[in-house]
Amino acid sequence: MLPGRAARRGLPRTPTRTPPTYAAPAPQIDCPRAKETSTMTVRRKTTGIAALGFAPLVLTMVSAGPAAAHGSMTDPVSRVSACFAEGPEAPKSPACQAAVQAGGTQAFYDWNEVNIPDAAGRHKEIIPDGKLCSAGRDKYKGLDLPRADWPASELKEGKHTFSYKATAPHRGTFELYITKDGYDPAKPLKWSDLEDKPFASVTNPTLKDGSYVFDGTVPKKTGRHLIYSTWQRSDSPEAFYTCSDVTFGGDAAGGGVPGKGEEKEVPPAPAAPDNDQVKKGLKNSTVDHQGHGGEHPASHTSPSPSTEPDEQPTEDANAPEPNGGDDKARLAETGGQDNTAPLAIGGAAIVAAGAGLLIATSRRRASKSRY
């Protein structure tokens, strides 16, 4: 039946059905820039995490390096300090000239490193007679020359304030010995030439203007003498040594009697190096304060027989063991805690593991977002 006829007869009109329409799927667009952006995001996250992971390792390497104590006695002035102040290339005093001729100039550019890295309080065991001023190191053999004309500081009996220039300060103990009556400066210095006990001893003295300052009571002496100092670190087995020539009563020339018609030659008074001299000398110094520069003596892992078996080093609660001592609370002022490295390495491992997990997750997400 035609539609027009149904309308004319009054019959209801059947509605026309519209066929459903379907949206065409969006075409897949391959966008290299989008992929590149996603990849760059992952890389940025990876780099950031990696940096966090390596930071503890870097700090570990920096903090784990051995920081060294360095310095020398400046009041009374030590032999090595006096010759450095005079100028290693052209020293003024005959004694310093002879010392440079014997050992070269480098020993005096490295004036603050007359040391033994593994001394651990065994000074008398490992430093032989005749080599006390050089600490047994061939590099500093010029300091051992037996002479009565070393530049000497005038000293008096009684209280005296001592000064020790510290180019790298550390905790430790200073002990000062003086030669016995009858000391002959024209003969090699032996341990038996020193008084049995130190006349001054101090642990962790005050550091003022770059120098350790401490008081001691000087015993009664006459004529020329020598003050021998040991600086034993408490955070390390390393120790430092100095020889300071001194006179009591103005007898600067010391041993020896002038002949007829001769005048007793008086050595010049020594001077300590000032800050400008120290800074200028750095360019020629091999001391780096991080494990030392220059030549070092052989290791003293096995104590050698003492030259005087009946004399043992004074026992001190602060004297370290060869491995650096068991007093973990006393740490170097320029060092750190002994558990820093393990903690840092452990933390770095954890962060690195987390970084790897995040990298894998980010890559999976980036891969899914492409489809």
What pLDDT digit, counting tens, does each position of 317-353 carry?
A: 333 333 333 333 333 343 333 444 444 444 455 555 5
Arithmetic mean of pLDDT over the chain: 73
pLDDT of the residue at 249: 84
The answer to whether the CB of 160 falls within 8 A of the CB of 185 is: no
* Domain extent for 356: 33-64+339-368
Q: In this structure, are strands 158-168 and 70-75 parallel, antiparallel, or unpaired? A: antiparallel
The residue behind tokens 């035609």 is 2
What pLDDT digit, counting tens, does each position of 71-111 carry?
A: 899 999 999 999 999 999 999 999 999 999 999 999 999 99
* Cβ-based burial of 331 (10 A; exposed 0-12, middle 13-18, buried ≥19): middle
What pLDDT digit, counting tens, does each position of 180-221 carry?
A: 999 999 999 999 999 999 999 999 999 998 899 999 999 999
Is 99 among the domain residues? Answer: yes
The residue behind tokens 């995490």 is 49
The answer to whether the CB of 219 falls within 8 A of the CB of 157 is: yes
Is 316 among the domain residues? Answer: no
Are 37 and 108 contained in the same domain?
no
Is 102 among the domain residues? Answer: yes
pLDDT of the residue at 310: 36
CA 144 to CA 245: how far, in whole Å?
12
Are 261 and 117 contained in the same domain?
yes
Are 49 and 85 contained in the same domain?
no
pLDDT of the residue at 214: 96
Fill in the amino acid letter for 303. P
Average pLDDT over residues 27-45: 52
CATH value at residue 224: 2.70.50.50
Are 92 and 228 contained in the same domain?
yes
Is 12 among the domain residues? Answer: no
Are 77 and 51 contained in the same domain?
no
Sequence-separated (6 or more) residues with CB below 8 Å from residue 120: 237, 239, 319, 320, 321, 322
Are 131 and 60 contained in the same domain?
no
Query: What element of type H or E holds 3?
Result: helix 3-9
Does 276 have pLDDT greater than 80?
yes
Q: In this structure, are strands 239-248 and 153-154 parallel, antiparallel, or unpaired? A: parallel
* Cβ-based burial of 199 (10 A; exposed 0-12, middle 13-18, buried ≥19): middle
CA 27 to CA 110: how far, in whole Å?
77
* DSSP 8-class letter at 77: B
Is 289 among the domain residues? Answer: no
Are 39 and 167 contained in the same domain?
no
Are 237 and 345 contained in the same domain?
no
Which of 220, 249, 284 lies at the terminal end of a domain, its last residue?
A: 284
Query: What element of type H or E holds 116?
Result: strand 115-116
Is 291 among the domain residues? Answer: no
Are 81 and 191 contained in the same domain?
yes
Q: DSSP labels for 141-190?
A: GGGG---S-S--EE--SEEEEEEEEEEE---EEEEEEEBPTT--TTS---
Is 23 among the domain residues? Answer: no
The answer to whether the CB of 252 falls within 8 A of the CB of 148 is: no
Which of 268, 284, 300 lies at the terminal end of a domain, its last residue?
A: 284
How many domains are there within the chain? 2
Are 43 and 75 contained in the same domain?
no
What pLDDT digit, counting tens, does each position of 136-147 carry?
A: 999 999 999 999
Is 59 among the domain residues? Answer: yes
Are 226 and 351 contained in the same domain?
no
pLDDT of the residue at 269: 82
CA-wise closest residue to 308 among 222, 225, 198, 196: 196
CA-wise closest residue to 68 among 285, 265, 355: 285
Are 48 and 132 contained in the same domain?
no
